């Protein structure tokens, strides 16, 4: 099931230029994800701003009536948790969107999933931009998460399948770099709008994500479908046309290009035949034990690396009332810093709002610079060496940070 057939457009060129354009389109999807992760960081955390005035926190009395008066004391101590939940509920939408792609995405084409993801995101972003109360904001965040979750679980696969074998690592690193670009743009957009005293302070940064989604949508409409998905659904002729389109032309007579297309097509067919042989024999239980296929080890490596990527930062969020800590939450998460760096710097470190936003923007630039390195080194040194080097660097950083936190606490 899909919206449209792949059509060759001459203005996109041939071979490498098509793959580069596809990488940029995928990059805008990743940039959109990063922007949506970072945009709330500069909007929360300060009283008296247009954002905080429009979306007031539910008071303890109101919540106490809903769940019972005996919980009122605890609810008074949970206002920061409520603030966290109302922003991070976006991740719930992402989880559901990614789950849809996992279980049913293969029934649709890659481009169809991406188009639906962007359209759903438009609805969520529009609802957030126009929101006048907390319920509308939460609904918008969940809907936006659905769209971005669908995109995030589809775009890397599509980008890989329309790229050359020797380019896939670089494309993946490039897409990761653009996620950081999205975070940086969000931070500095928040910083630029912080001085506004009208709703423009938060409505413009939230609405800006629509622009990135629109650019991605327009580009995807003109780009080819995944040849692997086409073969899996029996569109063999169209798959050959796409392979011919994305394969660079040989300098003389096109002989080499034709051979490459046929070789790639045969490899896809062979992979598809192996998949058909395995159909009906696979069960999800196989993912949780070893055996000849080492499925558990493979899954643990894939999922574990992604989990450790998230569990590789540290922050203590707490609110002070009269010098006494009201609530303390310690979480290990890069996304925590992405979402709440401004809040942490104001309420934990004690910086003013202007400085906290500025430091957040500079922190994003540091992310950006570090993320450039794999683009040029991943194909040269390989994935494993870069992962080990990064893990060593993070271990040293976490040790220094822990020592610094101990020193501050002790003194």
373: which residues sit within 8 A by CB, 6+ positions away? none
Judge contact between 50 and 197, C-beta under 8 A: yes
Other residues' Cβ atoms within 10 Å of the Cβ of residue 154: 27
| Gap between the Cα atoms of 98 and 96, Å rounded | 5
Instruction: Please tell me whether the overall predicted TM-score, pTM, comes out greater than 0.85 for this model.
Output: no
DSSP character at residue 317: E
What pLDDT was estimated at residue 88? 58
> What's the gap between Cα 77 and its chain centre?
31
DSSP character at residue 81: H
| Gap between the Cα atoms of 363 and 144, Å rounded | 25
Tokens in use for 179?
């996620």
What pLDDT was estimated at residue 20? 87
Tokens in use for 198?
């009208």
Tokens in use for 91?
């991740």
For residue 359, list its beta bridge partners: none
Torsion angle of C-alpha atoms 12, 15, 19, 22, degrees rounded to 10: 30
What pLDDT was estimated at residue 204? 93
The residues spanned by each domain of the chain are 10-247+304-410
Helix spans in 48-109 (H): 50-54, 60-67, 72-76, 79-104
Q: According to CATH, what is the number of the domain 10-247+304-410?
A: 1.20.1250.20
What pLDDT was estimated at residue 268? 83
Query: pLDDT 10s per residue in the chain (411 long)?
Result: 555 666 777 667 777 788 889 999 999 999 998 888 788 877 776 667 787 788 775 343 333 332 333 433 444 445 555 555 555 567 788 888 888 888 888 888 889 999 999 999 999 999 999 988 877 888 888 899 899 889 988 998 898 888 877 777 778 888 888 888 888 898 889 888 888 888 888 899 999 999 999 999 999 998 888 888 888 888 888 888 888 888 876 544 555 667 778 888 888 888 777 777 766 666 777 777 776 777 888 888 888 877 776 666 443 333 333 333 333 333 334 556 666 677 677 766 677 777 888 887 887 787 778 778 877 787 788 878 888 888 888 788 878 877 876 787 777
């Amino acid at each position: 099931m899909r919206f449209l057939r792949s059509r060759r457009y001459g203005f996109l060129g041939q071979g490498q230029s098509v793959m580069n354009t596809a990488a940029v389109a995928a990059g805008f999807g990743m940039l959109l994800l990063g922007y949506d992760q970072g945009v709330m960081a500069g909007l929360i955390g300060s009283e008296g701003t247009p954002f905080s005035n429009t979306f007031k926190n539910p008071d303890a009395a109101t919540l106490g009536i809903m769940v019972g008066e005996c919980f009122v004391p605890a609810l008074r101590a949970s206002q920061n948790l409520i603030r966290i939940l109302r922003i991070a509920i976006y991740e719930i939408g992402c989880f559901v969107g990614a789950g849809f792609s996992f279980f049913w995405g293969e029934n649709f084409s890659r481009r169809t999933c991406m188009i639906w993801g962007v359209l759903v995101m438009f609805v969520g972003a529009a609802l957030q931009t126009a929101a006048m109360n907390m319920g509308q904001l939460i609904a918008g965040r969940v809907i936006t998460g659905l769209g971005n979750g669908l995109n995030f679980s589809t775009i890397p696969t599509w980008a890989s399948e329309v790229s050359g074998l020797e380019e896939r690592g670089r494309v993946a690193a490039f897409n990761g770099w653009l996620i950081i670009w999205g975070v940086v743009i969000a931070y500095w957009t928040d910083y630029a709008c912080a001085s506004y005293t009208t709703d423009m302070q938060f409505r413009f940064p939230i609405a800006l994500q629509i622009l990135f989604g629109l650019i991605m949508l327009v580009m995807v409409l003109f780009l080819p479908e995944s040849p692997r998905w086409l073969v899996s659904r029996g569109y063999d002729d169209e798959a050959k046309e796409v392979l011919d389109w994305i394969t660079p032309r040989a300098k003389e007579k096109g002989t080499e290009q034709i051979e490459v297309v046929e070789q790639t097509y045969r490899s896809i067919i062979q992979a598809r035949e192996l998949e058909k042989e395995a159909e009906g024999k696979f069960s999800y239980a196989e993912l949780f034990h070893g055996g000849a296929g080492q499925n558990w080890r493979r899954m643990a490596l894939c999922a574990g690396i992604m989990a450790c990527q998230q569990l590789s930062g540290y922050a203590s969020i707490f609110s002070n009332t009269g010098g006494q800590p009201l609530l303390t939450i310690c979480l290990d998460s890069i996304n925590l810093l992405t979402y709440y760096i401004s809040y942490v710097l104001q309420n934990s470190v004690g910086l003013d709002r202007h400085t906290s936003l500025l430091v957040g923007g500079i922190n994003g630039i540091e992310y950006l610079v570090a993320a450039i390195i794999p683009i040029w080194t991943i194909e040269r040194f390989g994935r494993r060496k870069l992962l080990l080097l990064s893990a060593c660097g993070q271990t040293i950083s976490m040790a220094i940070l822990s020592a610094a936190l101990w020193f501050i606490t002790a003194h």
